[in-house]
Amino acid sequence: MKLATSLCGGVAIAAMASLAPAAHADSPSNEELLARIENLEAQNAALMARLDGMIEDRQIERVPAGDGPEVATETLANRTGFVSADAAYGFDVLDAAEHVNKKPIIQLKARAEDRLATPLTISGSIIGIANYQDSNRDSKFGYLMRNPTSANQIGDHVSEALIHSAQLGFTANFSDWLTGYAEILYNPQQNFGPGTITGRDRNQLLMQRAYLMIGDLERLPVYGVVGKVDIPFGLNDTVSPFTNSTSWHSFAGLAYGAQLGYVDENLMIRAMAIQGGAQFRAANAPVEGTVVPSRVNNFAVDANYTFNLNEADWMMLGASYQHGSAYCQNYPIFHFNPCDDNNPAWAAYAEASVGNFELLGEFAETTDVWPGSAVPIPTNPLSVFDAQKTRSWTVGGRYGFGDMLLSGKRDHYVSLEFSKFRAGEEGAPWERQNQFVLGYSRYLIDNVNIFAEAIHVDGFAPLNFLSGGNFPDGSTWSDNDAKTEVILVGAHTAF
């Protein structure tokens, strides 16, 4: 970069020196001036040819006009040699609402765009919320963005003002082919720790994701990942600014394993070999009748294709299969209990962007019934309900308007989404849980989203002891007629 500046500066100085009148000498004639100009043009052409050659050989970097703070603002990037930050990348890679199981793809594309050029890129995200929730059942709140336990939600209405989650992400650029990623998460509302949200066990930091990835999309459209990574199953995205869909709560999962993928402009194919046992609740595949993850005996595959409708609009269709889902346990159901056998699941999904509208829909279902969705005790009145396949589906859309931001987002969005989880036979207290979300987003800048949501939930169907088994009288805390209303505001910031 310095050499390029010196060369260009030298041309300018030489030009001024050649054209300036010499001291104590007569002024040059027109012919002499023309000769000097022709000579300077030849020198300039030679210097520029040398400069272009050095740029092609990557000995130096071409400096755009206005390099410095203006470029940093336009790219939302701050690079200091060894460590860098890219706010748009940080928002995307830490976002739990969109591209939730495609984080490696986000990183590969960012690397292809030379946005992760330094050895280390540090990202961070904080989501703060305030909400009011009301329920028609005492201490039963079906809103799933926090664990609905009686230890944290007492009475028929609750209110909160807190940090929902905070994250730190570290993306290491080891070589052109090798990327490392580690993500630290603080989420007192949604972890499985006992006690209240102020308890020590709920206020721990955990390593949410950590993996090594090999791949360079500029050279080859394939990649490989090993570590703790999202399972490539379904879409599991949402158009809502904050609240995840019921499909995400039902079928999204993290797991230890190895993932291989193919990614080009339109086609994406991913496959993952998954460690056995109950992998962070999801992807349960028994190992000798236990949940000990001592075998790679589970897997998932996903494929999708994007159709370009025109230069701006597109539609994507996809399908997935997972050999062992979360829904294989017998009665009474409890997280991380072993299963007699695995219960596969499949999913189909679609997403489209047409004009200012974005639409999505997906459906997922197990191939076999969930054994624990039936009560195997003949004397229990709840035994009249047969076991059912577990399914979930989502449909939603949002409309963007206002100014276009640097990242391609609009600065205003309104959204509406419906999602459904079905776990039991019709009429069973644990039959279903439905969720409606009306949302509004205001992006102040690409990496700061101020949002508001109105949420309505029909049903209360917690997965733990879904069909009972935790009360001496054999009853269940699931309630098909429970209703929850939520008003929520918040801010999602990232760097």
Q: Write down the pLDDT at residue 44.
A: 72
Q: DSSP states of 196-229 as a string?
A: -TTSGGGS--EEEEEEEEEE-TTT-SEEEEEEEE
Q: What is the mean pLDDT of residues 126-144?
A: 96
Q: What is the mean pLDDT of residues 489-494?
A: 98
Compute CA distances 162 → 118, 126, 165, 322, whole Å: 34, 11, 9, 36
C-alpha span between 90 and 493 (Å, rounded): 10
Q: Write down the pLDDT at residue 60.
A: 47
One-letter identity of residue 416: L
Q: What is the mean pLDDT of residues 449-473?
A: 96
Each residue's pLDDT tens digit, 203-216 = 999 999 999 999 99
Q: Write down the pLDDT at residue 33.
A: 66
Q: Write down the pLDDT at residue 336.
A: 86
Evaluate whether 21 touches 33 at the Cβ level (below 8 Å).
Answer: no
Which has more pLDDT, 22 or 249?
249
Q: Write down the pLDDT at residue 35.
A: 73
Each residue's pLDDT tens digit, 149-180 = 778 889 999 999 999 999 999 999 999 999 99
- DSSP category for residue 242: S
Q: Write down the pLDDT at residue 75.
A: 46
Q: Which helix (H) or strand (E) holds 128?
A: strand 120-135
Residues paired with 99 in a beta bridge: none
pLDDT above 50: residue 106: yes
Evaluate whether 233 touches 302 at the Cβ level (below 8 Å).
Answer: yes
One-letter identity of residue 190: Q
pLDDT above 80: residue 72: no
Q: Using pLDDT thresholds of 50, 70 and 90, give the confidence band for residue 408.
A: confident
Q: Write down the pLDDT at residue 411.
A: 95
Domains detected in the chain = 83-494 (2.40.160.10)
Is the whole model's pTM more than 0.85, yes or no? no
Q: What is the mean pLDDT of residues 235-248?
A: 98
CA dihedral 151, 157, 161, 165 (to 10 degrees): 50
Give the SS3 label for residue 485: strand
How far from chain centre, in Å, is Cα 10? 49
Each residue's pLDDT tens digit, 342-401 = 999 999 999 999 999 999 999 999 999 999 999 999 999 999 999 999 999 999 999 999
- In this structure, what token pair is assigned to residue 451? 């949002």
Each residue's pLDDT tens digit, 282-337 = 999 999 999 999 999 999 999 999 999 999 999 999 999 999 999 999 999 998 88
Residues 6+ away with beta carbon under 8 Å from 41: none
Q: Write down the pLDDT at residue 70.
A: 35
How far from chain centre, in Å, is Cα 455? 22
